[in-house]
């Protein structure tokens, strides 16, 4: 495996190159690396996506299960984001519970999804106060070549857009005894319902009907490294090693900012913050066009303006 | 009694190569009457010795190897250097500096900091101690500029070529300074980064096609194409 | 939930014969950071294995003076199973990590790297039965990719007893509803067993026949491993075609 180092990785050399608008790997300061997204890679999960962003490789899986709601939001579904920095992804990743960088990544990705109201959690209620759909989004970092936040965010986004949840009919929802529903809704692969057919004299497993998640927004994160007075979009591992600070800005389809995170100690002027936001805004369409977004999701996002009341 | 393989046949760990009178050579081992391959590679017979030319390997330092290392830790009178081996190497201050380091007044980091790279020679290594390096010889020392790339160390002989033929070709065609470390790190220094990138591409091509015929011609063609394109 | 018939007239739930393996696909060298890596799709089981090392043992006091340490870490992704699994490692994962390490270690020339460590990381992306067998078989390829010398390519498969019949290569449903599960790993050229576990109930005769079936299965897996290596390295040896 070959990698390109800059010996004596000093900011000076990276900054010199940047004066002519170039980076170590030949990109311009505003270029993303090659982005490949495959969805549905884990059939047993309700949704999944594998992302290659340059050499960075991330797999996200979505599991949707019925659980008790939070007491302060009895009629809303629950969403959680978790990230695992797998040891094989980089020599500095030690085995063990998530370290602070992993936790920060999960929370930044979560903020983008949650604050944009990407999933209409009010439509994820089964039985108010008793049972709601909980969406678990788990992101696994398998190869670290820089910009884990964006790779994780795109994987989580694509997995959610790929996800299918079981359709419940009126009779399921009317049931009072929620414990019976839980038994029937135990997530077997493909949410198969097992019933015994007297006529056929054997057990059959017809598949439940499934539908996409109720999507209302498409949040896209854009991360950049600040080195000296310049921003480097989609930083590589080398660039992250020398950056003064890192900015992640997440925009929604409506052109609103729904999440922002500055990482690393180096300070920024307010003008630099504004510049970072502007860069993220201009990158939104480009990234969105490189992600596999189903037609129905695009339609649903457009349609939400109509039922805003 | 014939061997169990065709010349340059691809073999894998555990492949039975020969039995009886043969000697176990590189990347093979003998058990009972049989000789087995221990890595993935190309099997060949040299006189009575069975060797496997490795396609994947793990660099082990040998005394007198000249390597490209990266400083990973600074101690008061020495630097710990990553040389892409199972062991970190140590570079004592007296093997880098021409006069002793005055630890009261000076900081080793001012000479060599973490992340900096050196071309160094292995001066000692055994099973009980870390490999030890020196830079106090002609051609050795801190790398001040250029690009360093990593290749599979098993390709180093091919990048150098028979009697240095391949590396001479690379230097002539590119006009760059090139040094191939035994540990699979290659230092390239040219007038511009673009020049260095062209050499890096050529080396990656050699790495990928190391065991094909006509490689030297294809590398020459590659440089021709690059010059025409410029 | 009533039992589904898993075997009908010698044909299994997924259409296989009793002694048939699921389709297996191996890929090597798929990660940048790991020293060696492999990916396996074994039926619907999907696993990535990364090798780090040989490298300095950390902390140093764990190092062994005359040989290399070998450690394995087997983890299942939360979304790899039907019901989401908590990310915290379960006791099952700890046990499987140990048996994976012990299955592969005998093949590695550990004396070559005293005081160093080889770490084997296996991440199950999707689990559909026999994950430890798939992980071991992929790990042998990942170790080869890392250039670590070995005596043999360890290969592994599980034999089960389902509705009274012995079956080769146990899938998830068969494991859950079957009467016995027996994973086996071997060094195929040495005819040595490096892993054997069993749970359930087998007669002496069933065990003997089961072990024979497992050996045959391991040989078939080994063939797939060799094919994957040939495929991967043929590319680096045979590129005249691509030079247009």
The string of pLDDT tens digits covering residues C134-143 is 999 999 999 9
Neighboring chains of B (3 or more beta-carbon pairs < 8 A): A, C
Residue C233 at interface with chain B, using a CB cutoff of 8 Å: yes
Banded pLDDT at B188 (limits 50, 70, 90): very high
Which of A55, A87, A95 comes nearest C32 by C-beta? Answer: A55
Check residue A180 and give its pLDDT: 41
Element (H, E) at C101: helix C91-104
Closest residue, chain B, to C67 (C-alpha): B127
Phi, psi of C50 (to 5 degrees): -120, 140
- Domain count across chain B: 3
CA distance B71 to chain A (A): 9
Closest residue, chain A, to B196 (C-alpha): A4
Closest residue, chain A, to B193 (C-alpha): A24
Q: Would B1 be classed as within a structural domain?
A: no
Closest residue, chain B, to C242 (C-alpha): B209
In DSSP terms, C70 is beta-bridged to C118
Element (H, E) at A172: helix A170-174
CB within 8 Å: A8 and B117: yes
- Higher pLDDT pick, B50 / B226: B50
Give CA–CA dist A81/A108, Å, rounded: 9
Q: Would B59 be classed as within a structural domain?
A: no
Q: Would B225 be classed as within a structural domain?
A: yes
Residue B7 at interface with chain C, using a CB cutoff of 8 Å: no
Residue C240 has pLDDT above 70, yes or no: no
Residue A20 at interface with chain B, using a CB cutoff of 8 Å: no
Q: Which residues, at least 6 apart from A147, have a Cβ–Cβ distance to it below 8 Å?
A: A53, A54, A56, A223, A234, A235, A236, A240
Return per-residue pLDDT of chain A as tens, 309 residues: 334 444 445 677 788 888 888 888 889 999 999 999 999 999 999 999 999 999 999 999 999 988 889 999 999 999 999 999 999 999 999 999 999 999 999 999 999 999 999 999 999 988 788 888 999 999 999 999 999 999 999 999 999 999 999 887 655 555 444 444 444 555 554 444 454 444 444 444 556 788 999 999 999 999 999 998 999 999 999 899 889 999 999 999 989 999 999 999 999 999 999 999 999 999 999 999 999 999 888 888 888 765 554
Residues of A in contact with B183 (CB under 8 A): none
Closest residue, chain A, to C50 (C-alpha): A88
C140 close to C218: Cβ distance less than 8 angstroms: no
Q: Which residues, at least 6 apart from C165, have a Cβ–Cβ distance to it below 8 Å?
A: C7, C18
CB within 8 Å: C50 and A89: yes
Q: Would B2 be classed as within a structural domain?
A: no
CB within 8 Å: C82 and A189: yes
**Domain with B222 in it: what CATH number?**
3.30.1370.10
Residue A182 at interface with chain B, using a CB cutoff of 8 Å: no
Q: Supply C81's token pair.
A: 């199973």
Residues of A in contact with C31 (CB under 8 A): 57, 88-89, 142-143
Percent of chain C predicted with pLDDT > 90: 81
The pTM for the full model equals 0.91
Indicate the SS3 state at residue C216.
helix
Check residue A215 and give its pLDDT: 94
b/e for C159-184, b at 16 or more Cβ within 10 A?
bbbbeeebbbbbbbbbbebbbbbbbb
Percent of chain B predicted with pLDDT > 70: 99
Give tens-digit pLDDT for C32-79: 999 999 999 999 999 999 999 899 987 788 889 899 999 999 999 999
Check residue A248 and give its pLDDT: 97
Size of interface B-C (CB pairs under 8 A): 96
The reply to whether B136 and B201 lie within a common domain is: no
Which of C4, C73, C87 comes nearest A95 by C-beta? Answer: C73
Q: Which domain holds residue B99?
A: 66-142
CB within 8 Å: B145 and A241: no
Check residue B145 and give its pLDDT: 86
Closest residue, chain A, to B194 (C-alpha): A26
CB within 8 Å: B147 and A7: yes
Residues of B in contact with C236 (CB under 8 A): 55, 208-211
Which of C31, C81, C125 comes nearest A143 by C-beta? Answer: C31
CB within 8 Å: A187 and C33: no
Which of B145, B147, B207 comes nearest A4 by C-beta? Answer: B147
Mutate to test the interface with B, among A8, A15, A23, A145 (most CBs of B within 10 A): A8
Residues of B in contact with C152 (CB under 8 A): 13-14, 36
Q: Would B60 be classed as within a structural domain?
A: no
Which of C4, C33, C121 comes nearest A144 by C-beta? Answer: C33
Give tens-digit pLDDT for B79-100: 999 999 999 999 999 999 888 8
Q: Supply C27's token pair.
A: 């890929």
Give tens-digit pLDDT for A45-104: 999 999 999 999 999 999 998 888 999 999 999 999 999 999 999 999 999 999 999 999
The reply to whether B125 and B71 lie within a common domain is: yes
Neighboring chains of C (3 or more beta-carbon pairs < 8 A): A, B
Check residue C121 and give its pLDDT: 98
Indicate the SS3 state at residue C134.
helix
Residue A241 at interface with chain B, using a CB cutoff of 8 Å: yes
CB within 8 Å: B150 and A1: yes
Give CA–CA dist C173/A107, Å, rounded: 36
Residue A144 at interface with chain C, using a CB cutoff of 8 Å: yes
Percent of chain B predicted with pLDDT > 90: 66
Domains belonging to chain C, first-starting first, are: 17-238 (3.30.230.70)
Check residue A149 and give its pLDDT: 98
Question: Interface pTM (ipTM) of the complex?
Answer: 0.91
CB within 8 Å: C79 and A144: no
The reply to whether B27 and B82 lie within a common domain is: no
The reply to whether B49 and B72 lie within a common domain is: no
Give tens-digit pLDDT for B100-154: 877 777 788 888 888 889 999 999 998 788 999 999 999 999 998 888 899 998 9
Which of A3, A44, A86 comes nearest C82 by C-beta? Answer: A44
Which residue in C217, C175, C216 sits closest to C199, CA to CA? Answer: C175
Residue A201 at interface with chain C, using a CB cutoff of 8 Å: no
The reply to whether B89 and B133 lie within a common domain is: yes
CB within 8 Å: C56 and B14: no
The reply to whether B23 and B95 lie within a common domain is: no
Which of A2, A17, A241 comes nearest B150 by C-beta? Answer: A2
Check residue C2 and give its pLDDT: 38
Give CA–CA dist B164/B160, Å, rounded: 5
CA distance A108 to chain C (A): 19
CA distance A43 to chain C (A): 8
**Domain with B15 in it: what CATH number?**
2.40.50.100
CA distance C53 to chain B (A): 7
CATH homologous superfamily of A11-303 equals GHMP Kinase, N-terminal domain (3.30.230.70)
The reply to whether B151 and B223 lie within a common domain is: yes
Whole-angstrom CA distances from A248 to A148, A281, B140, C4 are 11, 11, 43, 51
Check residue B146 and give its pLDDT: 87
- Average pLDDT, rounded, for chain B: 91
Residues of B in contact with C53 (CB under 8 A): 86
């Amino acid at each position: 495996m070959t990698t390109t180092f800059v010996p004596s990785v000093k900011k000076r050399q990276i900054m010199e190159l940047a004066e002519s608008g170039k980076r170590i790997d030949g990109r311009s300061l505003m270029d993303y690396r090659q982005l490949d997204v495959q969805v549905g890679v884990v059939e047993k999960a309700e949704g999944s996506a594998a992302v290659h962003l340059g050499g960075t490789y991330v797999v996200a899986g979505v599991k949707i299960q019925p659980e008790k709601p939070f007491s302060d939001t009895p009629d809303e579904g629950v969403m959680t984001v978790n990230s695992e920095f797998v040891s094989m992804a980089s020599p500095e990743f030690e085995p063990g519970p998530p370290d602070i960088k992993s936790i920060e990544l999960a929370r930044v990705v979560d903020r983008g999804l949650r604050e944009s109201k990407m999933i209409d959690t009010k439509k994820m209620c089964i039985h108010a106060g008793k049972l709601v759909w909980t969406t678990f989004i788990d992101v696994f970092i398998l190869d670290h070549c820089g910009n884990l936040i964006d790779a994780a965010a795109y994987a989580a986004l694509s997995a959610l857009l790929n996800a299918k949840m079981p359709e419940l009919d009126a009779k399921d929802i009317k049931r009072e005894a929620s414990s019976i529903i839980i038994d029937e809704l135990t997530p077997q692969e493909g949410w198969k319902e097992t019933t015994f057919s007297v006529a056929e004299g054997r057990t059959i497993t017809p598949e439940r009907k499934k539908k996409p998640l109720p999507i209302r927004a498409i949040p896209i994160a854009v991360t950049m490294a600040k080195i000296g007075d310049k921003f480097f979009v989609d930083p590589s591992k080398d660039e992250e090693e020398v950056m003064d600070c890192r900015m992640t800005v997440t925009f929604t389809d409506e052109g609103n900012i729904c999440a922002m995170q500055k990482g690393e100690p180096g300070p920024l002027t307010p003008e630099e913050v504004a510049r970072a936001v502007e860069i993220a805004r201009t990158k939104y369409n480009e990234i969105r066009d490189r992600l596999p977004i189903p037609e129905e999701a695009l339609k649903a996002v457009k349609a939400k303006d109509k039922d805003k009341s | 009694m014939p061997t169990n393989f065709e010349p340059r046949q691809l073999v894998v760990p555990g492949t039975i190569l020969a039995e009886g009178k043969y000697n176990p050579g590189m990347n093979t081992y003998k058990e009972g009457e049989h000789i087995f391959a221990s890595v993935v590679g190309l099997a060949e017979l040299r006189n009575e010795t069975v060797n496997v030319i490795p396609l994947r390997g793990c660099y082990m330092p040998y005394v007198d190897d000249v390597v490209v290392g990266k400083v990973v830790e600074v101690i008061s009178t020495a630097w710990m250097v990553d040389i892409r081996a199972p062991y970190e190497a140590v570079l004592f201050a007296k093997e880098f500096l021409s006069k002793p380091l005055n630890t009261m007044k000076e900081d080793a980091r001012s000479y060599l900091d973490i992340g900096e790279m050196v071309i160094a020679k292995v001066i000692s290594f055994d099973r009980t101690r870390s490999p030890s390096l020196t830079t106090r010889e002609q051609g050795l020392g801190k790398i001040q500029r250029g690009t360093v790339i990593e290749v599979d160390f098993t390709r180093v002989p091919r990048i150098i070529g028979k009697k240095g033929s391949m590396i001479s070709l690379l230097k002539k065609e590119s006009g760059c300074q090139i040094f191939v470390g035994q540990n699979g790190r290659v230092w390239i220094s040219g007038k511009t980064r673009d020049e260095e990138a062209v050499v890096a591409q050529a080396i990656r091509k050699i790495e990928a096609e190391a065991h094909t015929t006509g490689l030297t011609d294809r590398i020459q063609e590659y440089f021709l194409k690059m010059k025409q394109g410029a | 939930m009533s039992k589904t018939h898993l075997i009908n007239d010698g044909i299994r739930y997924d259409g296989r014969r009793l002694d048939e393996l699921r389709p297996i696909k191996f890929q090597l060298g798929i990660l940048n950071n790991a020293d060696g890596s492999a990916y396996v799709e074994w039926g619907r089981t999907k696993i990535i294995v990364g090798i780090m090392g040989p490298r300095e043992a950390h902390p140093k006091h764990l190092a062994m003076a005359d040989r290399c340490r070998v450690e394995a870490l087997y983890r299942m992704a939360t979304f790899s199973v039907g019901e989401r699994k908590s990310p915290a490692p379960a006791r099952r994962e700890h046990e499987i990590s140990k048996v994976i390490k012990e299955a592969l270690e005998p093949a590695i020339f550990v004396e070559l790297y005293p005081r160093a460590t080889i770490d084997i990381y296996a991440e199950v992306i999707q689990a559909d039965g026999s994950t430890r067998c798939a992980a071991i078989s992929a790990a042998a390829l990942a170790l080869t990719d890392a250039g670590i010398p070995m005596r043999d390519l360890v290969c592994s498969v599980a034999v089960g007893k389902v509705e009274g019949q012995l079956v080769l290569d146990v899938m998830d449903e068969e494991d859950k509803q079957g009467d016995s599960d027996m994973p086996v790993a071997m060094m195929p050229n040495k005819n040595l067993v490096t892993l054997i576990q069993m749970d359930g109930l087998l007669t002496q005769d069933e065990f003997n026949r089961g072990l024979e079936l497992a050996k045959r299965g391991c040989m078939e897996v080994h063939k797939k491993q060799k094919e994957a290596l040939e495929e991967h390295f043929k590319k680096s040896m045979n590129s005249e075609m691509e030079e247009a």
